[in-house]
Structure formats: structure tokens, C-alpha cells
Amino acid sequence: MATLLPFPAPPASTARPAPVLRVQGLRKAFERREVLCGVDWEVPTGRVIGLLGRNGAGKTTLLRCLLGLAPVDGGTIELFGEPMAEPGGERLHRVGFVPQSFELFPWMKAGAYLDFTAAFYARWNHALAGRLLREWQLDPTQKIGRLSQGQRQKLAIVRAIAPEPDLLVLDEPVASLDPQARRAFMGELLALMDAPGKTVIFSTHITADLERADADIALLRDGRIQFTRPLAELKSRLSRAILSRPAGWTAPPAIAGVLKSRVAGASVHLLLEDVPAERLHQLAKDEDASLRIDMPTLEDLFVELA
């Protein structure tokens, strides 16, 4: 199983602001199956965090626990520096949430639903909500129950963005959107991040969107957050090497810095951290093998590490 080496702590002068969210020892089980196994996680202010993990890893469960929408079995959650003991309070005026699916209030018209929701927030950008309804071709007089799945998801996004939240939590928000709508959504998301102090937690399998947002990547695996790292750091420190030779391989060659390895016919594939190209060329020479070095994409890293 791949395990990334810890990065050195940044100097005090470059330390990040206080986290918007701090989780310690978070546990959650369903019918005796533990989904979250003591999650420790800090989410920095002012960044897009891409939450990655395989289907069933517990991403939705984690997000719902963080927002007080699901009870936890153990551990603590701090939101904006204060304990999240139960949902409610002024802090949730600063949070926007887009769930995987939006099935509420089928009898209510879209515009009336937004007006109803606005009353619960300390601030609400009516001009922004109106513009998004027009640009995303959402009829405010249409009942929610008659909207398509993609239209309902657009409405949920409008509802989450209109309060101009300090923390925006998105659980697979674009899964039902077409490419044009997804691009428009990402544009609005990046515009929101232009304001200081805004933070986004973005669970998605569409890694291209995370690359466009220059997200930090958090990997949820085995019930824990394995790491949270800026995408640029991941790409700069990780590489993939393919060694090939006619004799093939009975086992991968030993080299420090290997995160994951597999033998495939006459080739061996290595995912590496902080391994200089010179060392790989020497290894290829010693093993009488040809060498190809690739820079893995975020999708490659997800497949290899998740």
C-alpha cells in the first residue's frame, strides 16, 4: 500500500493561517462497520481542497459529519475555531453545502425556494442568485419536482453560493452536469475564491476540475485522511518510472522512495517520491533495462494511491 513520506513543516514566516476546520479522532460506524477510523484533519483557510477517495471510502459520510448533518461516534470537530457540538448557530450562516442529490421541496417553485432559503442567512446576494438563474436557464416559476436532475443540481449550487459563504462544501456537485454547465460552475467557483478568506472542500472524481482550481489534494483511504498536499507539490515530488527488459522481472528492483510498484510482463512500473532521474538511470544501467520516466497526472495519482 502506498504511503507518502511526511513533508517538512514550513518555516514560521510562511505558516498558513489558522484552519477553518479542525478534526481530531473522528469516528463513525454503520451497523458495526467503521467507515471513519479516527480521522485527523486540518483544512486551511483560503484554499480549494479536493477530497479524493474511492467509492465507499466515506467521503459523503465525512462531509455530513463535518457539518453536523450526521451524528458522530467519537472525536471532535472545530469549525471557525469553535467546537461543532450540534448544527445551528451563527457559524452555519457562513457555510454553503451542495449534496450529491437534491430532492427537497418538489412542490415549491425554484424562485420561491431561493427566497425562502435566503431568509435563513445573515447575508444573501440576490443579484448573484438572479444572474445565475438566468445564465443557467433555470425558470424561477418552475416547480422543483419538474426540474431535471441536472437543473436541480444547478439550483442547489445557486442556493449554496448565494450567501457568499466563507466555507463551501461540495459533494460531487457536477456529477449530473453537462460539460458546458460544469465549466460555468467552475468559473463561479473560482470567482468566489477571489474573495479573501474563502475556503472550498470539493469531493469529486473529475480530477480535471481540481487541476483547474489548483486545489490542495486530500486523500481519504482506510477511514483516515492519509495526506493533504498542494497539487503543485505532489506533481513536483512524484514521478513514475517504467523499466523494461526482455528477461522480465520476478520482483520489482529495490530503490528508496518507491511508493508503489507492480510487474507487468517484461516491465516494472514504479511510483516514486523524491527520486532523482540520475538514480533511475543508474538503476536502469545496473539492471540492463530501458527506462521511461513520466510525470503522472492527478488522475494517475488517484488511481495509484487511492
Asked if 165 and 107 count as a contact pair (C-beta separation under 8 A), the reply is no
Whether 4 is in a domain gets the answer no
CA distance 63 to 50: 12
Residue 193 belongs to domain spanning: 12-234
- Do 243 and 222 belong to one domain? no
Q: Strand order of the sheet with strand 258-264?
A: 258-264, 267-273, 238-244, 290-294
Q: Are 269 and 13 in contact (CB under 8 A)?
A: no
Task: Evaluate whether residue 131 is within a structural domain.
Answer: yes
Sequence-separated (6 or more) residues with CB below 8 Å from residue 258: 252, 270, 271, 272, 275
pLDDT(3) > 80: no
Q: What is the mean pLDDT of residues 168-179?
A: 85
Half-sphere exposure of 73 (CA within 13 A, CB side): 15
31 and 144 share one domain? yes
pLDDT averaged over every residue in the chain: 87
Same domain, 174 and 144: yes
| Confidence bin at 87 (pLDDT 50/70/90) | low
> Does a structural domain hold residue 193?
yes
Same domain, 211 and 260: no
CA distance 54 to 38: 18
The answer to whether 95 and 161 are in contact (CB under 8 A) is no
Q: Does residue 48 lie in a domain region?
A: yes
Q: Identify whether residues 156 and 173 lie together within a single domain.
A: yes
Shared domain check, 278 and 179: no
Higher pLDDT, 134 or 104: 134
Distance, in Å, from the CA atom of 185 to the CA atom of 261, rounded to the nearest integer, reads 37
- Predicted local confidence at residue 212, as pLDDT: 84
Q: Is the pLDDT of residue 166 over 90?
A: yes
Asked if 173 and 279 sit in the same domain, the reply is: no
Residue 150, Cβ density class (10 Å: 0-12 exposed, 13-18 middle, ≥19 buried): middle
Quick check: 271 pLDDT over 70?
A: yes
Of the listed ranges 5-9, 113-117, 137-141, the least confidently predicted one is: 5-9
In the listed set 234, 249, 277, which residue is the last one of a domain according to the structure? Answer: 234
Domain tally for the chain? 2
pLDDT digits (tens, 9 = 90+) for 133-164: 999 999 999 999 999 988 998 999 999 999 99
Share of the chain above pLDDT 90, in %: 51
Find the CATH number of the domain harbouring 62: 3.40.50.300
220 and 164 in a common domain: yes
Residues 85 and 193 in one domain: yes
Residue 132: pLDDT over 90: yes
In a shared domain, residues 61 and 205: yes
Name the band, by pLDDT with cuts 50, 70 and 90, for residue 15. low
Does a structural domain hold residue 1?
no
- What does the alpha-carbon distance between residue 146 and residue 283 come to, in Å, rounded to a whole number? 62
pTM of the model: 0.84
Both 217 and 244 in one domain: the answer is: no
136 and 120 assigned to the same domain: yes
Give the pLDDT confidence of 31-78 residue by residue, as tens digits: 888 999 999 999 999 999 999 998 889 999 999 999 888 899 999 999
